[in-house]
Each structure stands twice: as structure tokens, then as C-alpha cells.
Amino acid sequence: MDGDCGVLVVSRRGKLLAANPLAESFLVRPLPSGSFIKANGPLAHSFSRHGQPIWEMLGCGEEEHGLLQVDDLTGTGIFYRCIPLYDEENRVTGTVITLEKRGDEALGQALKFLGLSHEEIMDQFPEGVFLVNTRWQVSYFNRTAQEITGYSRDEAMGKFCWDIFRSDLCHKKCPMRITMSTGQALLDQEVEMLTKAGQKKLILVSTAQIKKPGNRVLGGVETFQDLECLQHPTEGKDSQPFADIVGVSPQMQEIIHQLPTIAASESNVLILGESGTGKELIARALHTLSPRRKGPFQAVNCSAIPETLLESELFGYERGAFTGAVSSKAGKFELAKGGTLFLDEIGDLRPDLQVKLLRVLEGRGFERVGGNRKIPLEARIVAATNVDLQEAMRQGKFRDDLYYRLFTVPIHLPPLREKREDIPILVKYFLEQLNRKFNKRIRGVDPKVMKLFCRHPWPGNVREMQHVLEYCFVFAKGPFITERHLPRMESAWAGRELEDLDSSRSPLQALERETIIKALERVYGSKHEAARLLQISRSKLWRKMRSYAINPAEFKK
């Protein structure tokens, strides 16, 4: 076999039996023997027919060949051929897949062999595509360009591009004119054009020069999308935020409808949900909607405060109660008088503090550390946890009596993966917030990005989505967020099931690390410029770089 070929051997059930190093290089991923390739993953999608992996479709014994179909597998110019494998009884048991990179001439021959012309391929693009020569005459106009502009290919060919698009920018700051005169490729430029019918239409434009070897300019190419098609409708009475809570899913609508009733009572509330689902947001909404709204809202994260300090933080302390207590101090229970005390991550409370909290709830009073005066509890208690408290009770880590005290009114917040219909409206909500924060005018996300968002499992839930969108805002220059603005979390966005994540970091930590790396790459390792781009101090950036083992020297020119 040719030494320039990548080779994979796959069973009928998708088990990877063998792969050579060149196959791993072509597919940009490790390919360990014995791993299974998911039917809905990118590898299976690349080698697919009628929506099913080829190794499941080879029962008739036919060979299969073609071009790789997924961009993130660097499929341009990589050809595959699948040959069935047979057992002793002449049954197909799997396939041998060969991969080969070829040059432009071979690519043209392959397209001809497959019965495809370059024009037919460009007609399949979801974006409009047109070419101009150096005299600004249209020399190609694909099918989507015809649909967006209303002009047929015959009507557009040979015409000056400004006669087709009729934009105010055509003779001033036209993206194509800038590209042709400077050689600079432009991405995601917002342009208003007139269709053949005289309708004004906003389009998103990207331009580049067309050159032959030797840098001889032959013309320019422009791709464009109808901005109206990029919008994701979220209208409707249920799509409006309620006390900053966003959701159209049945689970969230039920919670939203119950909140005013729960807020009006004085009962203890226990909010249950995974990290990042918005438990504190619900607690604040309960306070805002309650008769105690004019009182303080005091929040305590029971897992974030050192155990040795948590008791004094909750109950306060008297002067001389311990070394360093030079004066008395009120605790959170006291400071929340007339309002709401939110105890977050209550499942991490140590056993002796669980006993003291139970006494406070039962006796409606408490004492400061080092004191003997009983102070009445005049705050409503709202608790939250991401821990399975029933399992914790079975293991003896959480008291049954405290659980039932807190469990008076439970609110279960679903993870984002169980309410995917909320994703578009959450994206819209966060875009509005981030536009105000960054003083930008980003209109939305590309449909491909929205599809990735709806497919992503979101282990960090809504908080993870917020951080991902904020990452995109740092680098997005045009009116829309596209795939190239997403953080480099390949296993998350592309579903690369054969790659391993660094299990020592949470998804949000991985996202933060990649944000810092991308900023350093952009400014060639300058910590000052990277800190300015990330809108944090240089000292904070330096601490995070040390924490994530990032060496700025690697990014210098």
C-alpha cells in the first residue's frame, strides 16, 4: 500500500480495530485501537451514506469513495475509499478505509470522476457567492446569490457589481473595493443592498482577492448572507424575562408561574439544581417579589468560606471570642434582618454547623460566637444546593431533620440540556446584556453556531453559555458570532469522541484558559495588550497564566 495513505480498519459496529499515524495526522485526532466511533460523531458523518456510517451500509459488498464531508476534519483535498472486509462465510464484518491527500490537479480530476463541476459545488453553498474580474464585471453568480438578489445568473453575468447590489457603499467604502485595492480580506461586513424588486435588504459580506501564482490579481470573490435569515425568532409573551429569569420551556414556565405565590409566603425554600442553573437568580427573584423586598438580601456560599470562618460569618462574634476578635461583628443571620438570607451550597455544610442551623430554624433565634444573648431570627431562609441531599442523607453526610426543615417548598431547576428550547431565547438575552457591557451591536449568532449550541451538552449549564458568549464578544468584530469566534473546545463543539478532555479542569476553567491563549496569540505574547483586550489587570492576568501554566514566550513573533 502507498506509504502516503492513511489507513483505518473499522468493524460493522463502529469499533476502531487499527489506524496508522498518517490517518491520525489527516484526521487531526488520536485513533486508539478498541475505541468505538459514535454513529452521530464527525468521523461517522464524514464517511456516511444516506445518513448512516458506511461500515453499517456495506452489506451489499460495494466499495465506497468520496471527499471528506466535515470541515473540522480538514477534509479539503482528502479523499477516502472504503473497501469491505469479509469473514470466512463471506459476510461483511467491517471496512478498510484509506485516506489520501492530493493537489489541485488531482482534486479537479476527482471532481470530474464524481460527476461534479466547481459551479455545481458552489451552487450548493448556503451563502451567496459571486466573482468579479479586474473590471468589476460579474463573472460568476451562484444559486443562493440569485435567490437573495432576485437576479438570475444570466441577468447578472457581465454586469458591473454595483448595478446588481445598488448599495450606498458601492462607490465609497465597498468591502470588495477595499479588498481589491489593498489585498486585505474582509470578514462579516454589514451592507444594505437593493434587490431586483427594489426591496432594501441587509446582508453580511466577506471578500477576498483571487490571485494566480506570482501574486497576479485576477479579480475578487465575495460571499454574502441574508441577515434576516440569521435571526432566530423568540417573540411571544412567554419569551420576555420575568425578574431576570428567562425560559419558554414547560419546566421554566411552571417555575415562573409559581414564584409569586412562593414569594408571598414565609416558608423556607430549598432550590435544587446543578451548578450554573441559576439558583441564586431564583433566590433573588423570590426576595424581590416578596413582602420583604425592601429589606436586605444576604447571600452566603457555604462552600466558598473556609470552615474555620463559616460559623462566625453566619452568626457573628463578640469581642474577644477568639484571637483577633478586637471588636464585635454582626453575622449574616443578623444582617439579613427584615429581608432574605440565601444559603448557597448548603449540602457542603459541615455536621456541627448543620446542628446549629437546625436549632436556629427551630428556635427562630441564634447567638453570636462567644456570646450568650439570644438574637431573634427575623429573616426568611432560602437554601440551595447542587448536591443530591437524599443520597447525602443515606451516606450520613446530611441530617434528615435539617433536610425536612429546609424542604418545606422545593424548587427543582432543570439543567440546560433538558430544556433546549430555552437556548435561543437565552442567547438573545445574553447578547442584549453583553452588547451593553461591551458597547457593541452584535445582532445574533450564525445558524451553524446556534445548531452547535442546541447540540452541546452544556455541563456548566446557563453560566457556561454566558461565559462562551462573552468569550465570543471579545473577538467578534462583525454583527454576528460565527464558528471561528467560538473557544477551542473541540470535544465539546465537534463531538470528537476519541479525544480526552483535561479532567483536572472544569469546562469554565478550560474556557478561561483558551480565552487567555487566544488573546496572547493575537497580541504576540504582550501581557499588557492581552490584559487590555481581556479587560482585566496585568497582575490578574499574570496570576491566571501561572495557574494555567501558560508561557507568554511561546506567542512572541
From start to end of 416-496, where are the E strands?
Answer: 444-445, 480-481
DSSP code of 122?
A: H
Tens digit of each residue's pLDDT, the chain (557 residues): 445 678 888 887 778 888 888 888 877 778 888 887 776 676 666 666 545 565 555 544 556 666 664 444 444 467 777 777 777 777 777 888 888 776 555 555 555 545 556 677 777 777 899 999 888 899 889 999 999 999 999 899 988 899 999 887 887 788 898 888 888 888 878 888 899 998 888 888 889 998 877 778 888 999 998 877 665 555 544 556 677 888 888 999 999 999 999 999 989 999 999 999 999 999 999 999 999 999 999 999 888 888 778 888 888 888 877 777 778 888 888 899 999 999 999 998 888 889 988 999 888 888 888 888 889 989 999 999 999 999 999 999 999 999 999 988 999 999 999 998 899 999 999 999 999 988 888 888 888 888 888 888 898 999 999 999 999 998 888 788 888 888 865 444 444 333 333 445 555 677 777 778 877 877 778 888 888 777 777 777 887 887 777 877 777 65
* CATH number assigned to the domain covering 120-230: 3.30.450.20
**CA–CA distance, 204 with 526 (Å, rounded to integer):** 32
For the stretch 78-109, pLDDT in tens is 777 777 777 777 777 788 888 877 655 555 55
With beta carbons less than 8 A apart as the criterion, state whether 413 and 271 touch.
yes
Taking the domains of the chain in order of start, what are their residue ranges?
Answer: 6-115, 120-230, 250-413, 420-555
Q: At which residue does the C-alpha cell 489520501 appear?
A: 100
The SS3 assignment for 420 reads: helix
For the stretch 370-425, pLDDT in tens is 888 889 989 999 999 999 999 999 999 999 999 999 988 999 999 999 998 899 99
Q: What is the per-residue pLDDT for 367?
A: 87
Q: What is the per-residue pLDDT for 142?
A: 92
pTM over 0.85: no
User: Helices 279-289 and 250-264, interaxial angle, to 10°?
Assistant: 40
Q: Which residues contact 277 (CB under 8 A, 6 or more apart)?
A: 413, 414, 415, 416, 461, 462
CATH architecture of 420-555: Orthogonal Bundle (1.10)
Helix H or strand E encompassing 330? strand 329-330
Tell me whether domains 120-230 and 250-413 share a fold: no
Burial of 324 (0-12, 13-18, 19+ CB in 10 A): exposed
With beta carbons less than 8 A apart as the criterion, state whether 282 and 342 touch.
no
To the nearest 5 percent, what fractions of the chain are helix, strand and coil? 40, 20, 40
The CATH superfamily holding the domain 6-115 is PAS domain (3.30.450.20)
DSSP 500-544: PP-TTS-HHHHHHHHHHHHHHHHTTT-HHHHHHHHTS-HHHHHHH
With beta carbons less than 8 A apart as the criterion, state whether 81 and 46 touch.
no
Q: At which residue does the C-alpha cell 468589476 appear?
A: 136
With beta carbons less than 8 A apart as the criterion, state whether 479 and 228 touch.
no
Q: What is the per-residue pLDDT for 337?
A: 92
**CA–CA distance, 389 with 376 (Å, rounded to integer):** 28
CATH 3.40.50.300 fits 250-413, yes or no: yes
**CA–CA distance, 98 with 82 (Å, rounded to integer):** 7
β-partners of residue 97 are: 8, 82
Own/partner contacts of 105-111, CB < 8 Å, gap of 24 or more, are: 106/77, 107/77, 110/67, 110/79
**CA–CA distance, 431 with 448 (Å, rounded to integer):** 17
β-partners of residue 481 are: 445
Whether the CA torsion 501, 503, 504, 508 is positive or negative: it is positive
